[in-house]
Chains A and B, each alone.
Chain A
Amino acid sequence: MKLLVMLAALLLLLGADVQEQSPEDYQNEQLERLGMEEVEEFWEEISQSYGPFLPESEKDDVSEWVSEHGGTELSDWISAGVQFFFHELSANIQLLGTLILLAVFSTLLRALQNAFEQETVSRVAYSVVFIVLFILVANSFYVAMDYARDAVGNMVHFMIALLPMMLALLATTGAVTSAALFHPLIIFFVNTSGLLIESVVLPLLFLSALLSIVSFLNERFQLTKLAALLRNTAMGLLGLFLTVFLGVISVQGATAAVSDGIAVRTAKYIAGNFVPIVGRIFTDAADTVLGASMLVKNTVGAAGLLILFLICAFPAIKLLALAAVYYLSAAVLQPLGGGPMLDCLSLLGRTVLFMFAALSVVGLMFFLALTMIIASGNMALMMR
């Protein structure tokens, strides 16, 4: 981008013929004028928290990064993800150690059971160990849920910040119908999905996990069915919402774009034919503007997609690492003999995976919504 600006400046200095300004020049002009402060803010936040893991994080400008898109290779991203995963894994290794220690302790107590005359004594000891485990695990579990909630909240805020710019650009590229249609729909879905996941699905998963753990504590009073009900409700809500969202967005996007394309074409036809010379010049200039706007929209959209992906990816990897720790400790503890502790750990691993699923579903929905906005504008321009 800088190169282009410099090139344009050079042309001006040389007194070259600048009257045929290309769409690219106008695009840069427009990008600078629009100001991507809202987007840059999120970018700074990301590079502050995950800076060391980002490939080529020395680029502190989103648009710069996006315009040199070929610079970052897929393998860089994958290695960054793997690096972050292992970083999180090692951060959680303390939890793994504590879990193993507790499990060994409780197995030893079981072995000592025969030494006591009464069975109740060892059962009390076992209960105490289990409650310690419960508190420990609930704590780390709550932290995991907070990650997921924060990530979802961040994504919603980001979408709310980005949408006005995207929709305005969409409207000015001639896709008036798409913009008008997308607007209430997408805003409704973005708001609702954030609220739904943040304050219904994730807490339900958390509560269901807590209920299951407590149910392991005694055989007489169990609430595993209630826990299953809560979990199924959460996952069902998630699936239902995703289905509705995908269906509505895809159908609306396609039909609106087609009617936009026809509208833009007729406008061009009228202006071009009734007033010959001026009309032609006007249409040419308007065309340049449309093309440049589309390029700006695509650039902003690509930057938005990248940031959205980053906002979602790092917490998701964090959750995956936590689930891996739970599963790993379950696997390590198996030789000590089965029992509620093992079931408890694998259940926690599964619930963290469910949280991961909820987070990725939100990410996917927002990703698709953005792509749909970008693509529908291009489609309307292509229909002319």
Chain B
Amino acid sequence: MTYITEWIASLILFLLLAAIVELLLPATNLKRYAELAMSLILMLLLLQPVFDLINEPLEDKLPVIPAETEQLNEEIEAKKKEIQAGHDAYISEQMAVQLGQDVNDTLQAEFGLEVRDVDARRFESEGKLNVVLGASERDGPEEGITSVSIAVNEAHEGEQTEVDRQKEEVRMLLAEAWEMSEADLELVWEEEPS
């Protein structure tokens, strides 16, 4: 575009000069020839781009369209991740509330537990559900509360298997209540079942 601008600018300059020269020239017979010469020069000026085109290849002069797509791609990706994370958090939260409603009463009565959190991020693709369980904050069964503080490493062999058995029971209970296969439930324990 700068090329065209320069070319047009030279044309305009020539026209202005020609106007002045025409005023300066005395009206004699020779004026006609002077004007003819100027016309020829003007024509050469007009043909300038054609000559340039013949002499030099065009490729160097074509403007390049700037490609900003790379940076934009990243921006879109970042925004998308942000939105997606918000969606996942919202879905998990809603599911934790609704799923917990179904089973919390039984869980609390039998094990003193409740559903703390549900992670549904892998649900759509693999059908798996991460469930975080913790001790119920409501008043549990009378004998349950005190024994929660048992640390695992201090526990004896027998208690260990007892805990495992309870875990299995919770898993079965959840799977039955939610009509899922047990393998698809991944339980995370904030506190061991008592």
Contacts and interface: CB of A to CB of B under 8 A. Distances in A.
B12 A275 contact: no
Interface string A14-27: 00000101000010
Interface string B23-47: 1000000000001001100100010
Interface residues of A, number: 59
B99 A168 contact: no
Nearest to B100: A19
B19 A164 contact: no
A221 B123 contact: no
Interface stretch (A42-50, A92-100, A284-292): A284-292
Interface of B, helix, strand, loop or mixed by DSSP:
helix
Given A19-B97, A160-B68, A221-B42, A172 B84 contact: yes
Interface in B76-114: 76, 78-80, 82-84, 86-87, 90-91, 94-95, 97-99, 101-102
Contact of B8 (A207, A274, A282): A207
Interface string A80-124: 000000000000000000000000000000000000000010011
Interface string B118-161: 00100110010100000000000000000000000000000000
A211 interface: yes
Contact of A275 (B22, B78, B179): B179
A114 B138 CA distance: 112
A27 to B, nearest CB: 11
A191 B71 CA distance: 14
B83 A211 contact: no
Given A172-B87, A203-B1, A278-B129, A220 B79 contact: no
A379 interface: no
A285 B91 contact: yes
Interface in A205-222: 207, 210-211, 214-215, 217-218, 220-221
Contacts of A123: 23
Contacts of B38: 221
Interface in A18-56: 19, 21, 26, 29-30, 33-34
Contact of A218 (B15, B95, B123): B15
A215 B99 CA distance: 82
A163 B66 CA distance: 17
B178 interface: yes
Give the top 3 A-B pairs by smallest Cβ distance, nearest first. Answer: A168-B79, A285-B94, A168-B80
Interface of A: 19, 21, 26, 29-30, 33-34, 120, 123-124, 127, 131, 160, 163-165, 167-169, 171-172, 183-184, 187-188, 191-192, 195, 199-200, 203-204, 207, 210-211, 214-215, 217-218, 220-221, 223, 226, 230, 267, 271, 274-278, 281-282, 284-286, 288-289, 293
